[in-house]
Amino acid sequence: MNSLAYALLSMLVRKPCSGYELAEMLEVFWQAKHSQIYPLLAKLEQEGYLTPENIEQIGRPNKKLYHITEEGKAKLKKWLSKSPANPVSRDEFLIKAYSLSLTDMNTARNLFEDRMAFYEDKLQRREEMIEQMQAEYGDQLYNQELPVFGRYIVHTRKKLLETQEIQWCEWVINMLK
Amino acid sequence: MNSLAYALLSMLVRKPCSGYELAEMLEVFWQAKHSQIYPLLAKLEQEGYLTPENIEQIGRPNKKLYHITEEGKAKLKKWLSKSPANPVSRDEFLIKAYSLSLTDMNTARNLFEDRMAFYEDKLQRREEMIEQMQAEYGDQLYNQELPVFGRYIVHTRKKLLETQEIQWCEWVINMLK
DNA sequence: AATAACATGTAAGCTGTTACATGATTCT
DNA sequence: AGAATCATGTAACAGCTTACATGTTATT
């Protein structure tokens, strides 16, 4: 059981998902490729933490929805009280930003403008997601006992981060003039 | 040449460093253990991007200071104009925050208070580092042509992030009451 | 006609972590 | 006496990425 396994379980508490969906949803705290997710889902199924449901679809390939079992939920619960590993962030852009004086103005500005565009796009999706939650739950979003609470605070954290990244890029770009 | 190799080169442009120092400094954009750093330094030396200088010390073990070569600097420069890979962030804490409704109040509060303490400590070190840069360079920190500029903006980014993480933790802890 | 989104899987190879190894000095 | 900091390395293993493999439908 590694962190990714718990990440998958935590997503499946909310609702049954396919591996494809999970790969997208995992973006928020543990990026992983489908080639890592599918084998791990099979392993978690084998260990009794998940049960698959085959969904036949028209106009699309069939899919497997994984449901979390009681054992899966218990396993996750137990893990939650242990102190988490330190966060890891690896960012090539920051290496380049660190060495900015080695490049010319144009390269520098492009680097930051691309970064800003990337986070502006992310922020827009994030805001749509949060608006959807607000429309669905209203004030109940702040009810810490509801399952949506955790999802709400995590996406809010990401929204703050994305907003701040854009502001920081603006600050740097203004200095580059 | 992977990202870590460029991370090492970028640090060595500023000043010659030992592997031990690099492991600490790398915290800012590419965390790596010494077991990954030492062999890579040896490889970069072999390829002519670095030259080692043996320093004999009293009261401490001897060390090797690695200097970047002209070829190393050229290699880094060339890489800078290529568009960077997407940032990766993997954070166990956020998985736990997402599943917060599965835990009791005490566990939840502890989780967030530990997180806050962790980032308060990080922030303090960061502020000390930035203050040192300000004392040394003053207004010249905003001179984009000086090598310190990149270092300054990257640590500023980290400071903002740490400040925001603490604020977000406070926001959540207040809701948990 | 080509690309994107949906959908699942395997294999090979690179990256990163943990454990093994050693050893001096300073601080508590 | 034990822990922390400085200092460098190797080996085994786990985690992650890229490439290989296949196929449909909708959009441009």
> From the alpha carbon of A59, which nucleotide's C1' atom is closest?
D25
Q: Is the pLDDT of residue A11 over 90?
A: yes
What is the rounded CA–CA span in Å between residue B94 and residue A151?
9
Nucleotides of C under 7 A from a protein CB: 6-12, 14-19, 23-26
Answer yes or no: are the C-beta atoms of A160 and B168 closer than 8 Å.
yes
Query: Which of B100, B88, B89, B103 is CA-nearest to residue B169?
Result: B100
Mean pLDDT to the nearest integer, A145-167: 98
Q: How far apart are the first and last CA of chain B?
A: 50
B177 chain-A contacts, CB cut-off 8 A: none
Q: Using 50, 70 and 90 to split pLDDT, how confident is the model at A61? A: confident
Q: Distance, angstroms, CA A113 to C1' C5?
A: 28
Mean pLDDT to the nearest integer, A96-123: 96
Judge whether residue B32 contacts strand C, using its CB and a 7 Å cut-off: yes
Q: Is the dihedral of CA B48, B54, B55, B59 positive or negative?
A: positive
Whether the model clears a pTM of 0.85, i.e. scores above it, the answer is: yes
Burial of A164 (0-12, 13-18, 19+ CB in 10 A): middle
Nucleotides of D under 7 A from a protein CB: 6-12, 14-19, 23-26
Map out the domains of chain A as residue ranges.
3-80, 92-175
What pLDDT is recorded for position A59?
A: 78
Q: Using 50, 70 and 90 to split pLDDT, how confident is the model at A57? A: confident
The DSSP string of A30-50 is B---HHHHHHHHHHHHHTTSE
Q: Is the pLDDT of residue A126 over 90?
A: yes
Q: How many CB pairs under 8 A join A and B?
A: 190
Length of chain B: 177
Mean pLDDT to the nearest integer, A39-48: 97
Q: Distance, angstroms, CA B60 to C1' D1?
A: 21
Q: Is the pLDDT of residue B57 over 90?
A: no
* B175 contact A CB<8A: yes
Mean pLDDT to the nearest integer, A143-159: 97
The CATH number for B3-80, chosen from 1.10.10.10, 1.10.540.10, 3.40.47.10, 3.40.50.300, is 1.10.10.10
In angstroms, the Cα distances linking A78 to A128, B102, B103, B125 are 33, 10, 9, 33
Q: Which chain B residues in 61-80 lie under 8 Å from chain A, judged by CB atoms? A: 73, 76-77, 79-80
Q: Is the pLDDT of residue B88 over 90?
A: yes
pLDDT tens-place string over residues B16-30: 999 999 999 999 999
Yes or no, beta carbons of A29 and B77 under 8 Å apart: no
Q: What ranges make up the beta strands (E) of chain B?
A: 50-55, 63-68, 88-90
Give the side-chain half-sphere CA count within 13 A for B70: 0
Q: What ranges make up the beta strands (E) of chain A?
A: 50-55, 63-68, 88-90
Q: Is the dihedral of CA B121, B122, B127, B133 positive or negative?
A: positive
What pLDDT is recorded for position A136?
A: 95
Average confidence score pLDDT of chain B: 96
